[in-house]
Structure 1
């Protein structure tokens, strides 16, 4: 399970445990010692992980998400539907209670997922994504360049009841490159000047940050991602990924070990 916290003392965990560490039911997903479950009202994520090198520390606690609504929306990212974005709950309340001083807070959040039957680098060269809470709900942008040269430019507005409406994407706006020189851009009103408020995660092929832009004459602050899959596919990058995403193929549940 990938867990990342930001700011002073921030931590990053992403351990590849293999199929033996997976358990799944209709309302629960368990990956090794961590799990998430839906109780009919809340999505409760119980985290018990160890940070990736070069840090070695325990990351343990609970995250509780309370959606304002669950959507039934899916966005195919390719013509054949091989990749899909699923915004389960674009607007949620979130409560974080981690076992570390100062890592307890509540605010707004979201819950989404991507699914696919092929690797991302097979079908995409580059994409950006952004989610910006607004006075009326939240607005999401999905822009991508596919390997075949075609593009995706999707903009959607969600309200608190889960209703979604496609909107005309505002103009693209360039943002300064990340520390690893990943190209970044987002959407914004005419004459707007989006800017980074906080760097969250910076990798050779990926950037996540808190970004400020202007939509429908409203200043908004949200989460922005940029992903360079041409760089991700380079052989020189694989050892770096292996360092940050260690493998533990022999992990077993206690019930398996005692059987």
Structure 2
């Protein structure tokens, strides 16, 4: 959905603009998002192949085999990004939600709770921990449907909580909070108070929700001209939690400067 090549093409053939995005943070950070054409893509009900990388579902885990190269802005030297990620859902949710009245944009939280195993060969790091899996799809460009959005998610002792809010392209506002129980069943709950966050280094406006109207940015993992992803210390449903939060500004994304920069970050092969 962020592909400059797909946008220029008129967005008529999405399979011809496929990529696997890998973002590793920390001392051995890597970024990979190489777009590939239709000839490099294969898929069926349980498998998706994009170039040398593949994703498969075996009924128990989602396995992601990664064979990519990183791309740093204005840096010609690429490093390998290779390894395997396995995501084991602890609960599956079958209900999808429309983010607009016309149902042009659909969000589906597939696994509100999951565990993850990461074994990377390049760079040589591994870990296991908590995870989350969702899916977005739409029938119109994202920048047409939205100006901004803010999303956050936290594991709870029994289930998970997801907050979603923003401004649609027509200027209308939306906001919701969903609590998922231990079986993945969603239930709308009252929105916690707004907790303002400092803007990112690129001055992207950030926002989240918290029981006490206060949250702390512990780390900002991704900081770009139109998108920020962060780790927060917050409070949901009476629990002290570590939350993942993202903010997106599609007006920034649509600017000529960002569109000029994107191919340097997201090369295309084929």
Whether these two folds match at TM > 0.5 is yes
Q: Summarize the alignment of residues 1-259 of structure 1 with structure 2, pairs less than 5 Å apart.
A: 1-53=20-72, 54=75, 56-100=78-122, 103-190=125-212, 192-249=213-270
Cα deviation, 1:118-177, whole Å, max 9, x if unaligned, reads 111011100011111111211001101011111110110112211111111111111000
Specify the SS of the correspondent of 1:131: strand
Q: 4+ residue runs of structure 1 moved beyond 2 angstroms?
A: none
Q: For 2:98 and 2:164, how far apart are their aligned partners in 1?
A: 11
For residues 232 and 63 of structure 1, what CA distance do their matches in structure 2 show? Answer: 29
If asked which structure has higher relative contact order (CA below 8 Å, sep 6+), I would say: 1
Q: Could you state the TM-score of these two structures normalised by the residue count of structure 2?
A: 0.89
How much has 1:189 moved relative to structure 2? 1.3
Note closer, same or farther for the CA distance 1:20–1:94 as it changes in structure 2 (3 Å cut).
same
**Which residues of structure 2 form unaligned runs of 5+?**
1-19
- Aligned in 2, Cα 1:90/1:216: closer, same or farther, shift over 3 Å? closer
Q: Distance in 2 between matches of 1:171 and 1:204?
A: 27
Secondary structure in structure 1 of the residue aligned to 2:260: helix
SS of equivalent to 1:239 = helix
| Cα distance in 1, alignment partners of residues 163 and 130 from structure 2 | 18
2:200 is paired with a residue whose SS is coil
Report the CA distance between 1:222 and its aligned residue: 1.6
Deviation at 1:100, TM superposition (A): 4.0
Task: Please give the TM-score of this superposition, normalised by the length of structure 1.
Answer: 0.93
1:69 Cα deviation (Å)?
A: 2.1
CA RMSD of aligned residues (A): 1.2
Provide structure 1 residue ranges, at least 5 long, that are not aligned to the other structure.
250-259
